[in-house]
Structure 1
Amino acid sequence: MAPSKAESLIDVTEIFVELTSAEDEDAGFGGCEARQKLERKLLRKIDSRMSILIVIYMLNYMDRNNIGAARLRGLETDLGLQGQEFATLLSILYAGYMIMQVPSNMFLNHIGKPSIYLPTSMVIWGIISILTGITKDFVSALLARFFLGFVEAVFFPGALFLLSKWYKRNELGTRIALLYCGNITSNAFGALMASGILDSMDGKLGQAAWRWLFYIEGSLTIFVALCAMFILPDFPSTTRWLSEGERRLAMRRMEEDAGVGDEGETEEGGHLTGLRLALRDWKVWWMALVMTSFNVTLSFTTYFPTLSATMGFNPTVTLLLCAPPFILTGIITFALCRNSDAIGERFCHATIPLLFGIVGFVIAVCTMNTAARYVSLFLMAQSYAGYVVVTTWISNSFPRPPSKRAVALAFINAFSSFGNVAGSYVWPSTWGPTYRKSCGICITTAGCVVVMCYIFKLYLERLNRELAEDERRKGAEDRGFRYLT
């Protein structure tokens, strides 16, 4: 039945009101041109302060993975490690890591003070890293690694949540890529730093070189943490150094991006509601499985010095050779994520690097030729670029409410740590120096990730069709929120 004149008049009035409201919003910032200028200024200000997250993430991974470099200079012998005890030292970190992430992000969303919360946790893990250097046996090292993971768990999901509170979907991929560049660079810079420390500090003050590695890197972490307290922003509604106009614009941007308010949103049950919403969402569980498989695929990163050592060079050269593959990966990751943001596509950008990684594993399986194995390390490292895109994809797929987003990001990251635990046992020395079985496991999990990402893409496309159909039924003129696929 055709709509009546009254109904048509109501529809026209509603559209007029919406357009007028949008103009009024820009008028509150001095008009469209003034708003754009203020927005550019706001982004520059936030970007400059958020950049310290890159340094923090570098140190987060250096403090976690320096044990791999220490292994080359006597850690196993000094601690009397046998059998799978080294692998257990790697995996126990993720036990603490899994326990803390969800409650930590719920608490961060509650207090709204990441500028205090994240650096404080950083100081504590820096102290624990230093204490790792004084351990004397397997049990003491095991305890240090467990508590290191427990405290380090605060940072990554907290940083993702902080970024998602400031940046729109088409801005988030580039920022997460830059954050991950800290992670990727830590594999390169950490290897170079470890090479210098291990080569020059052996026997100083009666301490083994590997102990100095923990002392120096832990102290650097504490120093950067103290600086970060004065640099990091809080959330848009709690950051004091924003002007009133900048604060309103920061909150308005996120409302426009998600199609609904974010800050100040009332939710019955608060964080418990966010937890229930997250755990009932099929997307959360599916992407948790995707990231678990991905972490098994990336298990080679912790053992990278060991894989580099299979080429037959001395420990110093071995560590130096670890740097170039990750330097190239950092460049590729940034370019890939920037392009992914620009065209609004995630699936191909996530899976193509994985296919290069699979080629790298195949080469490693087929030959022990030095040049070919080094090329394989470059290709394996490219898998990390796909991991960054998938992480951004996850952040885009849970726009609201904020409590659900906080829990979803933390839960996925925590659950996926099962992949890190399993990955710690994928590269036993008894499978070396070829590590064919290890590479075979990584090829399998990488293939699973590609298939599961494709299923996720199809599911999001179906949701987008439902959103479009809902808008058509309601007669909406403007295109609303869409999931990126």
Structure 2
Amino acid sequence: MVALRKIRHFVWGEIPESKTERNLLFKIDWFILSYCCLMYFCNYLDRSNLSNAYVSGMKEELHMHGTQFNQINTIFTCGYIVGMIPNNLMLQIVPPRIWFPMMQILWGVLTFCTSAVSSVEQIYAIRFFQGIAESSTFVGTHYILGSWYKSGELGKRSGIFTSSGLVGTLFSGILQAAVYTHLNGRAGRSGWRWLFIIDGIITLPIALYGFLMFPDVPTTTRAFYLSEEERLLSCERLESDKEKDIDHGHLNWNLVRRLLGNWRWYGCSLLFAISGETESFGSNNLMGQWMKAIGGFTVPQIDNYPSGVTAFGIVSTLVCATWTDATKSRARWPVLVYMATCTTTASIILLVWSSPMGLKFFAWYLAGASFAGQATTFAWANQICADDHAARGVVLASMNMWNNVVNAWWPLVFYPATDAPRFTKGMWAMIGTSVATLLVTWLVWYLERREKRGKARQIDAGEDGAEAEIPGEGADEKKGNE
């Protein structure tokens, strides 16, 4: 029984002592994680479908050439950047159970539209607006997770959420291979067009589920499955600093002062702006482009084999997130060190063009470790900003926004489709990014540690002052009595 409890603690986190809190945790795990994971699954299914469609006939049918594929991704990223902070601020005003599904319906409809395009210019327009809609998902969910979960519960939930997006990527390749095999040419439509139709069909029922079941945030939730006692407990169990805690929905100019006058916004934004680019191998489907460029692989193989990158990313994400929650210190930085080591090793192997084919496959899959940084970095930021909800929402959005600002031009410069199959510039860029990730990780760790020491000194000084006043008060009271 003791061994089983230890295993459960490692896998799922601290086990609440009270039955009420255990029931609450079960309910929010079920309804928050189920919807957010399904939503993010659709989000990444849509993103990955474009890459898979490109290598499965879209390039030839739409007469795409040069770096037009990279340009589509850049335009999507621009929409993503535009929508990032406004979407997270809207979650402070509009109930998340309304805003999330609305955005999901919008990108679902645009996904249907993608199946009917006749030119690459039409895809440019569609992807820009899809970027705006989809930007609500990632940072919005991390804001919600930080609103419901304690620091010891947050890492693995962030890991599960991030992995759901990777499952969408994994499923996309398998789905495209199946669609190409069984639906290509059906009703006069190419296989890649059927892929977007199926994607849109999957999206809409999940949005309806969100309208009905998503619980918003603890201070505003009216979810029918939570008792009044559980609603109160959901607020009380996260209160660490009542004086600094900012209620959901409270926005003013003081927020700008708190953001710009503190290292958190700068440090966390810089961390993910740089470390997020280590995902470039997987997010740009470089392995698929590499396989198509060197030849000798069928379309289903080109769709299926890169799934190994995603699969290793899922395993890395879940193991790392679980491990960081299990440690007493809740230290997140070791995951970024692991990630940077793997991407550096993979880049060096791929730079040596004479490496055996099996070793190159190993390198591509090893690079999937880069996905482990997403969950860890955002769990870390949630932890750092736990005492200020409104600022936390903007910091999380800014992290992803600045990463996408870099990502808007990064693939065009370092991973253009015309560089396939070697991507020499990209390999050197990955090594540089990995080293920079280590440096910024140290900087954030140092600043967080310094801030904690400063707070500890303030608390100690306050306690000493209180103790010094008590004897004086007692002496005055005694003198008055005399």
- Range of TM-score over shorter length: 0.7 to 0.9
Which ranges of structure 2 fall in alignment gaps of 5 or more residues?
1-14, 466-482
Q: What amino acid is aligned across from residue 234 of structure 2 in structure 1?
A: A
Which of 261, 276, 293 does residue 274 from structure 2 map onto? Answer: 293
Deviates more, 1:149-158 or 1:292-301: 292-301
Q: Secondary structure of 1:134's partner?
A: coil
For residue 138 of structure 1, report the CA deviation from its aligned partner. 2.1
* Residue of structure 2 in register with 1:222 after alignment: 204
* Residue of structure 1 in register with 2:432 after alignment: 444
Which of structure 1's runs of 4+ aligned residues deviate more than 3 A?
258-267, 307-312
Q: When the two structures are superposed, what TM-score results if normalisation uses the length of structure 1?
A: 0.86
For residue 186 of structure 1, report the CA deviation from its aligned partner. 1.8
| Residue-by-residue CA offset, 1:392-443 (whole Å, 9 max, x unaligned) | 1112111132211111111221121112212331222332212222111111
State the alpha-carbon separation in 1 of the partners of residues 395 and 339 from structure 2: 25
Say whether residues 1:317 and 2:304 are aligned partners. Answer: no
| Residue-by-residue CA offset, 1:206-245 (whole Å, 9 max, x unaligned) | 1111111111112211122112222221111222222111
* Residue of structure 1 in register with 2:262 after alignment: 281
Q: What amino acid is aligned across from residue 304 of structure 2 in structure 1?
A: L
* Residue of structure 1 in register with 2:39 after alignment: 56
Q: When the two structures are superposed, what TM-score results if normalisation uses the length of structure 2?
A: 0.87
For residue 198 of structure 1, report the CA deviation from its aligned partner. 2.1
Say whether residues 1:176 and 2:158 are aligned partners. Answer: yes
State the alpha-carbon separation in 2 of the partners of residues 457 and 89 from structure 1: 36
Q: Tell me if the contact between 2:37 and 2:165 (Cα under 8 Å) persists in the aligned partners.
A: yes
Q: Secondary structure of 1:416's partner?
A: helix
| Residue-by-residue CA offset, 1:187-215 (whole Å, 9 max, x unaligned) | 21121111111222211111111111111
Q: Tell me if the contact between 1:92 and 1:145 (Cα under 8 Å) persists in the aligned partners.
A: yes
Which of 392, 415, 428 does residue 427 from structure 1 map onto? Answer: 415
Q: Secondary structure of 1:120's partner?
A: helix
Say whether residues 1:454 and 2:442 are aligned partners. Answer: yes
Say whether residues 1:249 and 2:233 are aligned partners. Answer: yes
* Residue of structure 2 in register with 1:347 after alignment: 333
* Residue of structure 1 in register with 2:313 after alignment: 329
Q: What amino acid is aligned across from residue 198 of structure 2 in structure 1?
A: I
Q: What amino acid is aligned across from residue 323 of structure 2 in structure 1?
A: N
Say whether residues 1:163 and 2:151 are aligned partners. Answer: no
State the alpha-carbon separation in 1 of the partners of residues 337 and 346 from structure 2: 14
Change (3 A) 1:369 1:315: farther
| Residue-by-residue CA offset, 1:325-383 (whole Å, 9 max, x unaligned) | 32232122112111111211111122212211211111111135321111001110011
For residue 459 of structure 1, report the CA deviation from its aligned partner. 1.2
Q: Tell me if the contact between 1:54 and 1:179 (Cα under 8 Å) persists in the aligned partners.
A: yes
State the alpha-carbon separation in 2 of the partners of residues 64 and 236 from structure 1: 31
Q: What amino acid is aligned across from residue 62 of structure 2 in structure 1?
A: L
Change (3 A) 1:282 1:299: same
State the alpha-carbon separation in 1 of the partners of residues 237 and 323 from structure 2: 22
Q: Tell me if the contact between 2:110 and 2:130 (Cα under 8 Å) persists in the aligned partners.
A: yes
Say whether residues 1:71 and 2:71 are aligned partners. Answer: no
State the alpha-carbon separation in 1 of the partners of residues 244 and 460 from structure 2: 23
Say whether residues 1:213 and 2:199 are aligned partners. Answer: no
Q: Tell me if the contact between 1:274 and 1:407 (Cα under 8 Å) persists in the aligned partners.
A: no
Q: What amino acid is aligned across from residue 59 of structure 2 in structure 1?
A: E
* Residue of structure 2 in register with 1:415 after alignment: 402
Q: Tell me if the contact between 1:275 and 1:403 (Cα under 8 Å) persists in the aligned partners.
A: no
For residue 172 of structure 1, report the CA deviation from its aligned partner. 0.9
Change (3 A) 1:44 1:476: farther
Q: What amino acid is aligned across from residue 375 of structure 2 in structure 1?
A: V
State the alpha-carbon separation in 2 of the partners of residues 265 and 71 from structure 1: 42
Q: Map of 1:17-96 to 2, 5 A cutoff?
A: 36-52=18-34, 53-96=36-79
* Residue of structure 1 in register with 2:452 after alignment: 464
State the alpha-carbon separation in 1 of the partners of residues 96 and 313 from structure 2: 29
* Residue of structure 2 in register with 1:302 after alignment: 283
Which ranges of structure 1 fall in alignment gaps of 5 or more residues?
1-32, 478-485
Change (3 A) 1:265 1:119: closer
Q: Tell me if the contact between 1:187 and 1:322 (Cα under 8 Å) persists in the aligned partners.
A: no
CA-based RMSD of the aligned residues comes to 2.1
Say whether residues 1:145 and 2:127 are aligned partners. Answer: yes
Q: Tell me if the contact between 2:114 and 2:123 (Cα under 8 Å) persists in the aligned partners.
A: yes
State the alpha-carbon separation in 1 of the partners of residues 257 and 116 from structure 2: 43
